[in-house]
Amino acid sequence: MKKDAVDRLTPMGVMVLALLREGDMHPYEMVRLMRARHDDRLITITNGTLYHTVSRLHRAGLIEELGIDREGNRPERTTYTLADAGRDAVVAWVRRELPRIDRPADFRIALAEAHNLERDETVDLLRARRSALVEDHARHRDGLRGAREKSVPEQVLVEIERQEALLHAELRWLDSLLDRLEAQAVPWGPTAFPNSDRYRAQRKAAQQ
């Protein structure tokens, strides 16, 4: 996988490629699935942005056209499939972003798509993230303590106090997740999803 292809991926691009790992789709189905899954928690979803993203991914050779549907009175819909390069790009992007602590918005998407990695690799990347979080938490904790010892006014420390609390909470959550992953208490990996009735119904509704 070429590094520049991964560098050019947007969060929307990653999510489109991840959707196509589930099966071939047209952009209208992608939009409906994203909204049904409340992915707008992570990114802003508009038809225009998604169609533009699909076009860019196609030009980059990460997805391929399968054909055009002209059923009934519906507008023409082009169905896309994931190219091998696109499959590799999702994995490479998640590998890059999962251990990083300096891009929290991208981390949320990497975490949402981390199931595209195998369990052992996910654990290794999250442990790397944990090490970085421990260091960052220590800096905030020690800095806060030092500032208070110097009688720095509390009102100028509230942001640091909040960040220290968030880092502490994330470390507790991450330790819990790592315990569950290592105990294999959570199904994991690209093939771990059952082809459930709920999933099939969701896909069918998005295709209408």
Contact assessment for residue 106 and residue 143, using Cβ atoms and an 8 Å cutoff: no
- Mean pLDDT value of segment 28-46: 92
Alpha helices in the chain (DSSP H): 3-7, 11-22, 27-36, 47-59, 84-97, 104-112, 119-149, 158-182, 197-207
The pTM score is 0.86
* DSSP labels, 34-69: HHHTTGGGTS---HHHHHHHHHHHHHTTSEEEEEEE
Domain ranges of the chain: 3-100+193-207, 118-182
pLDDT score of 6: 80
Q: Does domain 3-100+193-207 have CATH number 1.10.10.10?
A: yes
pLDDT score of 190: 84
What does the pLDDT look like over 44-87, one tens digit per residue? 999 999 999 999 999 999 999 998 876 656 667 899 999 999 99
What does the pLDDT look like over 105-155, one tens digit per residue? 999 999 999 999 999 999 999 999 999 999 999 999 999 999 999 999 999
Cα 202 from Cα 10, distance rounded (Å): 25
pLDDT score of 136: 98
pLDDT score of 176: 98
pLDDT score of 8: 86
Instruction: State yes or no: pLDDT of 15 exceeds 60.
Output: yes
